[in-house]
Amino acid sequence: MIKYFIGHKLHKTNLVKIANIANLVIFMFVFVNPAWARSVADIQNEINQQEQELENVKETLENALKQLQDTESKLNNQQSELEKLNSEISLIDQQININNVELEILKKEIEVKQLEKIKREKILEKTLSKNYMDWRAKDTQIEKFLLKNNIDNSEKHWQYDSFFVSIQQQGIVSLLETLQDLKKLSSEYDKKIEELQAQNSELEAKKQKLQEELLALQNAIYATNNNIVSLQSQQQNIESKIKNLLEEQKQAFEYERKILEQDPGGGGGNINEGEWFFYGSGRDLYQGHGVGMSQWGAHGMALNGFTYDQILSFYYENSYVQGGFSKQINVDGYGSMDIETYVSGLGEVPSKACGNPDQVQSNPEKYVIDDPNNSWDCWPEEAIKAQVVAARTYAWWYTSVRGSICTTASCQVYSGGNGKAWAAQETQGELVLYNGSPIEAVYSSDNNQGYGTADNDTIWQNIYGDGTPYPYLRSKNDNDYATPTQWTNWTYQTSGFLSQDINAMLNFVVNNSNYSIGVKNAISNIINEVGEIESLSFVRDNSLRVKKVILKGTNGVEKSIGGWWFKNIWNTWAYETGRGDYIYSQTFFLSSK
């Protein structure tokens, strides 16, 4: 074909055109030579096959994207750091997989375009060859063209060249445009491929870093798992010690209670020059432990316009009230009952709410006219509802931890009947929660000894004054709201004593049968380390109750005794030695004359 174009005389313009065609054909020949032997049908079949593969890959991509979305959603909901790392690594793997699928799609699209180009080149080549052979063989169509236009033989070559170039020029121009588009598309594909490959490199680096973090975490978990048996054993030992401590404190409390029930209170004997003495306010025996909600505090807050949930949120800090709970509980002497039935028969505070005549007439089961001379005939309804929710929460917690609940003040008073059914109904299913779980909603009568309620670890503690602080049982100053009782600001003081009396008191404990071996050993160690007592100081919570008594002695060492324990030991010592001189509350202070 190339020889033919060179071996004939051509018009100058046509010569340029045919030269361009020749260059193009040479380019086509070099570019598409590997596919030269295939037919158009073969090429079309391969195009169809590649397009089908492309659809399959796109479907794979769609599935991969859906999986990626699911993984991202799962990642957002992961709580465990280990699961989070695994999810992130899975996420990166899926993103890399998506990138690789997109790369495959790009390659397939390029292959399809290349095949389309080959197909067009093949068609063009066949057309060129056919027209050329028809011209050489004096094809009928060309002869008709020449005769129709009265073209003689001398002009045959020139006219045919013009005709040949004209009919092929459109296809060639179209092919050139296609090739240019393909070149541009190929450049864009190359850029996209580079971007995806760069992204894959970044993802692989991130994946490696996450895998290192995952390995470190897995090693930590592995090391932790190796210690599980030991830790479980330690936990059991600690729980056993805690139980023993609770029993120790309970045993000491019962003995002290019997002592103080026999005493009219007050004290305040002679104090000589240079002697120490204790003084304070409040009386634990009648006010209660002082932790959590104050019943008379709730009474005063209700009179000041607080709702039951506001009262509960005030006393149980960091907590909230939520409904929708129901449960069967076991009650000593009554068996299993619905918790709403239980709180309907609750004692603790009056069952009737103080109301006006209209309220009493319309709802006599709930309201009664208040007798100003009787503080126990009725209470503000919000205070009663606060009591019901606190009692329901405590019963829920107590029966979940300890099984059956008793019906006395040792747990909470249950009287039976339906006196508080109205309050149970108006607060049905409501509990006080902390972090989604019912709290140990303890309460007592009058928790204020002049400065508010106590921290739980101020009252429930070991011999050294250490306890477990609960975030919802922190000291709350309710001075501005609480209804005072006769014991709120009740004061007392002891007779005078000297530092050596504290030494005598400590030695008394070591030899006293009312205390456990654990308490005796602890006090004995304190005596040995401190020496003769020289001074006392106090660690207090915000209610000014004594959390710890710090003992400093001749050895220059400081040791602590829990404030609750110090009061208990003092009272036991004072009783058994005949002093009859007591510390009546944990809100006590030390002075000297």
Q: DSSP states of 128-155 as a string?
A: HHHHHHHHHTT-HHHHHHHHHTT--GGG
Whole-angstrom CA distances from 30 to 34, 111, 160 are: 9, 17, 27
Residue 13: CB atoms within 10 Å: 11
Q: What are phi and psi of 114, to 5 degrees?
A: -65, -40
Question: Do residues 316 and 430 make contact, with C-beta atoms less than 8 angstroms apart?
Answer: no
pLDDT computed for residue 20 by the predictor: 47
What does R_g of the chain's alpha carbons equal in angstroms?
48
Compute the residue count for the chain.
593
For 89, the token pair is 């690594």
Listed in sequence order, the residues at least 6 apart from 322 whose beta carbon sits closer than 8 Å to its beta carbon are 430, 431, 433
| Contact of 572 with 248, CB cutoff 8 Å | no
How many other C-beta atoms are found inside a 10 Å radius of the C-beta of residue 229?
9
Does residue 283 sit in helix, strand or coil? coil
Check residue 157 and give its pLDDT. Answer: 56
- Cα–Cα distance for residue pair 136/128, rounded to 1 Å: 12
Q: Both tokens of residue 135?
A: 């011209």
Among 560, 508, 556, residue whose Cα is nearest residue 531:
556
Can you read off the two tokens belonging to residue 73? Answer: 């959603």
Angle, helix 228-261 to helix 156-226, in steps of 10 degrees: 50
389 membership: H or E segment, kind and range: helix 381-402
How many CB atoms lie under 10 A from the CB of residue 3? 7
* pLDDT at residue 27, as a whole number: 37
Residues (pLDDT < 50) of the chain are 1-39, 42, 78-79, 138, 231, 235, 237-241, 243
For residue 512, count CB atoms less than 10 angstroms from its CB and return exposed for 0-12, middle for 13-18, buried for 19 or more.
Answer: middle
Query: Residue 11 CB: number of other CB atoms within 10 A?
Result: 15
Q: How far apart are CA 395 and CA 342, in angstroms?
A: 9
Kindly report whether the global pTM for this prediction surpasses the value 0.75: no
Measured CA to CA, the distance from residue 412 to residue 345 in angstroms comes to 11
Spatial separation of the C-alpha atoms in residues 417 and 406, rounded to whole Å = 16
pLDDT at site 368:
97
pLDDT of residue 143: 57
